[in-house]
């Protein structure tokens, strides 16, 4: 706990006098320097009783100019308003002293009152002017409150430049009071004949603990909290009036500090767990939407509209997009943004592959919502009929796999020797594409966490040059840097990693090379050693497409909007596709706010199920 926090009077004193190593040192050193200046002035001038007495009869202008000259020597950078304040104070004090001395009987020279007259000099005392001027300066510090700024490196200057508005001030003050009261209570409880004070401290501690257990912000505090604060302050003041063993207080403070540190570690681990839970669990509003759509699907009369567009599903001359998703909103935004930026939407066909749990919700959603002239087909991947039994065994929905990989960076200095990259690659379900769409020659695979900002029709004109997968490559991450993930036997150490999100797939070439068989063989071999499906998918996908990836221009897709806060606005506006890879998806409350705007504008907010399920993404 920071013992010098703003608003904590007791903690500030403990921080100052317990250790002269921080802001207090600057304040004390500056005050001492100012006081020594006055001492040096009087020491050089010598002691003259007449001069001392005449000092009280100086004219108003002389006294004012003397103060200004002195300040000009000590602090040439003082602001004019501070100089004016100090000069006015000197004038007021001169007038007050003159009126006081005029009322006294005069014999030769007026003698100032004993309470303010300086003592005769002592050869052992080198601070002869400090007795007069130091209180004046300390008073000015309290009233002006900015004198400590005039020394370069002052804490006050730094604090004003970096001031932050303190929120929930009363709750923080209660916690600090509880901290101090707990430290004093064991010592007070041992004092003889102080049972009343001991009970008072104990009751106040219990009362504050109860309040803090029910309140985390100032808005939650009960209306009579001001009275509780005053009672606690009074009890702490009484406890401090007794002489107690500092060792006992120090020991108790250390115990409380250790407890607070353990509690902070616990909450940090709990926060990390809850964060992972939040990003991996479907929000309540989206679950409600899926359930409501499913129920409504079975209540509604059958719709035969699919029969009229069935021929489009297998027409290889059209532009076919494939999306693997179990999220109604995410797939809807991906499709809507693609259609809105298309020059001709009539040629676009979208195939949404989902699981049995979300199939009927998806069906009803895309029947209720139209996307210009585009066609949308929803497929239940669990009900597909494939000839190969080994392929049929993979009929469960798996979304694109996302990884955060760390590896040594030999190009950076030793202080930053570890670099982290985020990649997303195909999952098991993607390797069923040639068998699911037997009549198609080329498809564009979109992840459901993308937003399209430009027309994508040019992707069908790319010459793949015998490659299978047209993807944006991530050459900041090469196979040689992934050897702990891929193993030592990967062929080309300089091959770049590639990203899913936007991929142009040549299905004809895929079938010629039988990449599905290659992937399944690698996956089977790696499963024995790896165990986890994620690790198997990473190695098998990268190795299956080795030397078969056609690099498309990086301007087509911009990744990182689900984890990187530092993406420039210009890069976002130029990208054809925004990929929200990472944990902070745009449909979650954890999504990065400045990036969510690009996703939310393609959401159909007029649908009644969104308002009924309180979907405010």
Q: What is the pLDDT of residues 123-168, one digit of tens each?
A: 444 333 333 333 333 333 433 444 554 445 555 666 666 666 778 8
Report, as an integer, the average pLDDT of 77-97: 50
Q: 37 — alpha (psi -120 to 50), left (phi > 0) or beta?
A: alpha
Same domain, 225 and 370: no
Least confident of 75-84, 253-262, 449-458, 490-499: 75-84
Report, as an integer, the average pLDDT of 197-201: 92
Q: What's the pLDDT at 167?
A: 81
Q: 321 — alpha (psi -120 to 50), left (phi > 0) or beta?
A: beta
Residue 61 burial (C-beta neighbours within 10 Å; 0-12, 13-18, 19+): exposed
**Residue ending a domain, choose from 136, 161, 186:** 161
Q: What's the pLDDT at 533?
A: 66
The CATH number that applies at residue 273 is: 1.20.930
Report, as an integer, the average pLDDT of 95-107: 46
Q: What's the pLDDT at 310?
A: 87
The tally of CA atoms less than 13 A away on the side-chain side of residue 466 is: 1
Residue 130 burial (C-beta neighbours within 10 Å; 0-12, 13-18, 19+): buried
User: What count of residues does the chain have?
Assistant: 617
* pLDDT of 79 strictly over 70: no
* pLDDT of 177 strictly over 50: yes
Report, as an integer, the average pLDDT of 228-256: 84
Q: What's the pLDDT at 250?
A: 81
The distance of Cα 518 from the centroid of its chain, to the nearest Å, equals 43
Rounded-to-10 torsion of CA 569, 575, 578, 584: -30
Same domain, 336 and 468: yes
CB neighbours of 220 closer than 8 A, spacing ≥ 6?
Answer: 214
Q: What's the pLDDT at 16?
A: 39
DSSP 576: S
Question: How far from 127 is each of 48, 74, 86, 538, CA to CA, in Å?
Answer: 16, 17, 22, 77
Q: Are 364 and 338 contacting, i.e. CB atoms less than 8 angstroms apart?
A: no
Residue spans of beta strands (DSSP E) within 368-484? 375-380, 401-408, 418-425, 442-447, 450-452, 469-471, 473-478
Q: What's the pLDDT at 189?
A: 87
Give a yes or no: residue 2 inside a domain: no
The helix/strand/coil state of 349 is strand
Give a yes or no: residue 200 inside a domain: yes
* Summary count for the chain: helices (H), strands (E): 24, 14
Question: How far from 524 is each of 158, 188, 328, 402, 405, CA to CA, in Å?
Answer: 62, 71, 32, 20, 23
* pLDDT of 8 strictly over 60: no
Q: What's the pLDDT at 472?
A: 94
Same domain, 15 and 123: yes
Give a yes or no: residue 3 inside a domain: no
Same domain, 234 and 290: no
Report, as an integer, the average pLDDT of 558-586: 93
Q: What's the pLDDT at 476?
A: 81
Give a yes or no: residue 468 inside a domain: yes
Same domain, 57 and 128: yes
Quick one: what percent of the chain has pLDDT higher than 70?
68
DSSP 444: E
DSSP one-letter string for 589-615: TTS-HHHHHHHHTTS-TT-HHHHHTT-
Q: Give the model's confidence band at 371: pLDDT under 50 very low, under 70 low, under 90 confident, else very high.
A: very high
* pLDDT of 195 strictly over 70: yes
Same domain, 204 and 155: no
Q: Give the model's confidence band at 520: pLDDT under 50 very low, under 70 low, under 90 confident, else very high.
A: confident
Q: What is the bridge-based pairing of β-strands 442-447 and 319-324? A: parallel
Please, where are the H alpha helices in 346-406?
356-368, 389-392
Give a yes or no: residue 264 inside a domain: yes
Q: What's the pLDDT at 323?
A: 98
Same domain, 262 and 345: no
Between 41 and 358, the more confident residue is: 358
Q: What's the pLDDT at 14?
A: 38
Rounded-to-10 torsion of CA 446, 452, 458, 462: -40
**Residue ending a domain, choose from 258, 279, 300:** 279
The helix/strand/coil state of 584 is coil
Give a yes or no: residue 1 inside a domain: no
Q: Give the model's confidence band at 550: pLDDT under 50 very low, under 70 low, under 90 confident, else very high.
A: very high
Q: What is the 3-state secondary structure (H, E, C) of 239-293?
A: HHCCCCCHHHHHHHHHHHHHHHHHHHHHHHHHHHHHHHHHHHCCCHHHHHHHHHH
Quick one: what percent of the chain has pLDDT higher than 90?
36
The domain in which residue 196 lies consists of: 169-279
Q: Which helix (H) or strand (E) holds 322?
A: strand 319-324
Q: What are phi and psi of 550, to 5 degrees?
A: -95, 120
Between 164 and 98, the more confident residue is: 164
In whole angstroms, what is the distance from residue 404 CA to residue 399 CA?
16
Q: What's the pLDDT at 413?
A: 54
In whole angstroms, what is the distance from residue 560 CA to residue 397 CA?
24
Question: How far from 374 is each of 272, 323, 340, 368, CA to CA, in Å?
Answer: 42, 15, 10, 14
Q: Give the model's confidence band at 528: pLDDT under 50 very low, under 70 low, under 90 confident, else very high.
A: low
In whole angstroms, what is the distance from residue 586 CA to residue 609 CA?
19
* pLDDT of 207 strictly over 50: yes
**For residue range 275-299, what is the model confidence (pLDDT) as tens digits?**
777 777 778 888 999 999 999 999 9
Same domain, 316 and 358: yes
Q: Which helix (H) or strand (E) holds 502?
A: strand 502-506
Same domain, 105 and 207: no
CA angle 605, 608, 614 (to 5 degrees): 70
Same domain, 263 and 180: yes
Mean pLDDT across the chain? 76
The tally of CA atoms less than 13 A away on the side-chain side of residue 525 is: 12
Q: Which helix (H) or strand (E) holds 96?
A: helix 80-102
- How many folded domains does the chain comprise? 3
DSSP one-letter string for 540-560: HHHHHTTT-EEEPPGGGEEE-
Same domain, 182 and 101: no
CA angle 533, 536, 538 (to 5 degrees): 110
Give a yes or no: residue 4 inside a domain: no
Q: What's the pLDDT at 327?
A: 94
Find the helix packing angle between 225-240 and 195-214, rounded to 10°. 140
In whole angstroms, what is the distance from residue 573 CA to residue 451 CA?
12
Residue among 286, 281, 279 at smallest CA distance from 610: 286
The helix/strand/coil state of 193 is coil
Same domain, 264 and 391: no
Give a yes or no: residue 127 inside a domain: yes
CA atoms 307, 312, 313, 314: torsion sign: positive
Between 340 and 61, the more confident residue is: 340
Question: How far from 40 is each of 134, 405, 475, CA to CA, in Å?
Answer: 13, 66, 70
Residue among 364, 291, 281, 572 at smallest CA distance from 450: 572
Least confident of 89-103, 415-429, 471-485: 89-103
**Residue ending a domain, choose from 262, 279, 296:** 279
CA atoms 466, 470, 475, 481: torsion sign: negative
Tokens of 362: 């998806």
Question: How far from 419 is each of 257, 423, 478, CA to CA, in Å?
Answer: 35, 13, 13
* pLDDT of 351 strictly over 50: yes
Reported for 115-122, long-range contacts at CB under 8 A and 24+ positions apart, including other chains, are 117/52, 118/52, 120/47, 121/47
């Amino acid at each position: 706990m920071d013992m010098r926090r703003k608003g904590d009077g007791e903690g500030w004193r403990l921080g100052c006098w317990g250790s002269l190593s921080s802001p207090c040192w600057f304040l004390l050193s500056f005050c001492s320097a100012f006081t020594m200046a006055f001492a040096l002035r009087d020491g050089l001038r010598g002691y003259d009783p007449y001069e001392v007495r005449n000092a009280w009869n100086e004219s108003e202008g002389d006294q004012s100019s003397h103060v200004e000259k002195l300040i000009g020597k000590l602090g040439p950078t003082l602001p004019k308003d501070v100089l004016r304040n100090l000069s006015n104070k000197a004038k007021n004090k001169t007038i007050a002293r003159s009126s006081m001395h005029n009322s006294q009987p005069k014999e030769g020279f007026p003698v100032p009152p004993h309470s303010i007259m300086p003592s005769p000099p002592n050869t052992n005392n080198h601070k002869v002017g400090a007795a007069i001027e130091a209180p004046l300066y300390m008073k000015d510090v309290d009233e002006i409150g900015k004198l400590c700024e005039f020394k370069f490196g002052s804490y006050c200057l730094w604090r004003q430049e970096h001031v932050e508005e303190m929120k929930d001030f009363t709750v923080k003050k209660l916690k600090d009071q509880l901290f101090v009261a707990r430290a004093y209570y064991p010592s007070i409880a041992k004092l003889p004949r102080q049972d009343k004070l001991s009970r008072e401290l104990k009751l106040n501690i219990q009362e504050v603990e109860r309040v803090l257990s029910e309140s985390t912000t100032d808005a939650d505090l009960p209306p009579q909290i001001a009275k509780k604060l005053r009672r606690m302050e009074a009890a702490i003041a009484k406890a401090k009036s007794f002489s107690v063993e500092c060792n006992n207080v120090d020991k108790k403070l250390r115990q409380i500090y250790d407890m607070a540190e353990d509690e902070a570690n616990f909450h940090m681990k709990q926060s990390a767990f809850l964060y992972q839970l939040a990003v991996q669990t479907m929000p309540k509003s989206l679950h409600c939407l899926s359930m409501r759509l499913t129920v409504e699907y079975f209540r509604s009369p059958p719709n035969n509209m699919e029969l009229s567009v069935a021929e489009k599903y297998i027409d290889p001359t059209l532009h076919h997009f494939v999306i693997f998703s179990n999220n109604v909103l995410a797939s809807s935004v991906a499709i809507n943004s693609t259609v809105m930026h298309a020059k001709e939407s009539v040629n676009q066909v979208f195939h949404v592959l989902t699981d049995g749990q979300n199939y009927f919700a998806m069906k009803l959603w895309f029947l209720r919502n139209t996307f210009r002239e585009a066609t949308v087909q929803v497929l239940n991947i669990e009900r597909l009929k494939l000839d190969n039994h080994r392929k049929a065994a993979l009929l469960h929905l798996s979304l694109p796999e996302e990884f955060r990989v760390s590896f040594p960076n030999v190009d950076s200095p030793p202080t930053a020797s570890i670099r982290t990259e985020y990649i997303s690659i195909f999952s098991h379900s993607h390797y069923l594409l040639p068998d699911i769409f037997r009549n198609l020659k080329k498809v564009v695979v979109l992840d459901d966490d993308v937003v399209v900002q430009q027309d994508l029709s040019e992707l069908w004109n790319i010459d793949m040059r015998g490659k299978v997968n047209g993807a944006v490559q991530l050459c900041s991450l090469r196979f040689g840097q992934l050897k702990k993930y891929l193993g030592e036997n990967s062929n080309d150490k300089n091959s770049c990693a590639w990203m899913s999100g936007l991929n142009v797939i040549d299905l004809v070439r895929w079938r010629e090379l039988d990449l599905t068989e290659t992937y399944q063989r690698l996956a089977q071999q790696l499963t024995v050693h790896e165990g986890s499906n994620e690790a198997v998918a990473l190695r098998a996908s990268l190795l299956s497409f080795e030397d078969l990836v056609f690099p498309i221009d990086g301007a087509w897709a911009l990744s990182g909007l689900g984890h990187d806060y530092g993406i420039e606005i210009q890069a976002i506006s130029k990208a054809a596709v925004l990929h929200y890879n990472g944990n902070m998806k745009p449909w979650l409350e954890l999504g990065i706010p400045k990036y969510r705007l690009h996703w939310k504008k393609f959401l159909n907010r007029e649908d009644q199920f969104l308002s009924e399920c309180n979907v405010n993404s």
